[in-house]
Amino acid sequence: MTDNRTAVEAALARPRASLTAVLLVLPLACWIWVVAMARDMYGPMSGASAWMMTVTWDAPRLFLLWAMWAAMMAGMMLPTIAPMLLLYGGAMRQREGLRNPSLRIYAMAAGYVAVWALFSVGATALQRVLSSWSLLTTMMEPGHDTAAAILLIVAGVYQLTPLKQACLTACRSPITLLSTGWREGSSGAFRMGVSHGLHCLGCCWALMLLLFAGGVMNLAVILALTAWVAFEKLAPFGPQSARVSGVLLLMAGAWFLLR
């Protein structure tokens, strides 16, 4: 029978193409938007970030703020699930007769992104509260050293907790999730993506609060956090670095309080 699919559809049906789309193309698109907003915000403020300057907390602004957070989280976090998706993609390639294996890869990635999209709802709500209390400026930077100090201390304390270590261990062991929590079908892949996303959320949510402490659209802070999270999740000494960073965050928070 003649295959009537377009070249794009045929490419997206291959696991390697779907992995490239999820791990490279989508994060790159998110980063392009985030960088454009950040450069405009600290520049003319007349382009991609113009909507941030309004003082009216209406539905369009809240939606755009959530979209900003969701894009930022996708850009920062999607590359770190490469081990999980590569293992899963390899398993799909080895299964003979499996139709559209790429759909399962997309489903797993969608489950992971859904968790961070929900986190972005909470981040948007927190930004609304902090702004209403004048603890966050219109430039999305801390309005007082005390607010930044509290965020640093909260993140530092969490870095030292058993829950942080447990979630980090799970994030660093995708093969364990695949072997113990395997589920069939696209819906099963989505649920495994959600499960992995929840572990990563438990690992990284406190670190994301540092965006409020250093400036939500501060590219230096965003890049530093991206590298930090990737190191914790992927580097050989990631678990030990979490404890070290916890102590450093506590020291930084104390310095902000005392200076």
* Residue segments in the chain with a per-residue pLDDT below the cut of 50: 1-13
Say whether 136 sits in a helix, a strand or coil. strand
In contact, 215 and 42? CB cutoff 8 Å: no
Q: Give me the pLDDT at residue 181, please.
A: 84
Query: In whole angstroms, what is the distance from residue 178 CA to residue 85 CA?
Result: 10
Q: Give me the pLDDT at residue 238, please.
A: 77
Helix then strand count (H, E) for the chain reads 13, 0
| Torsions phi, psi for 216 (to 5 deg) | -60, -40
Say whether 143 sits in a helix, a strand or coil. coil
- Which residue is listed with tokens 């999740």? 233
Query: In whole angstroms, what is the distance from residue 112 CA to residue 117 CA?
Result: 9
Which residue stretches of 94-237 are H helix? 101-132, 145-159, 162-171, 174-180, 185-208, 210-214, 219-234
Q: Give me the pLDDT at residue 98, please.
A: 66
Catalogue the E-assigned strands of 73-116.
none
Q: Give me the pLDDT at residue 43, please.
A: 85
Q: Give me the pLDDT at residue 7, please.
A: 38
Structure tokens at 255: 């310095």
Query: What's the pLDDT tens digit per position in 68-80?
Result: 999 999 999 999 9
Structure tokens at 247: 């102590």
Q: Give me the pLDDT at residue 22, please.
A: 87
Q: Give me the pLDDT at residue 96, please.
A: 59
Query: In whole angstroms, what is the distance from residue 232 CA to residue 121 CA?
Result: 25
Which residue stretches of 133-184 are H helix? 145-159, 162-171, 174-180
pTM: 0.89
In contact, 88 and 98? CB cutoff 8 Å: no
CA-to-CA separations, 101 to 12, 85, 95, 179, in angstroms, rounded: 10, 12, 9, 18
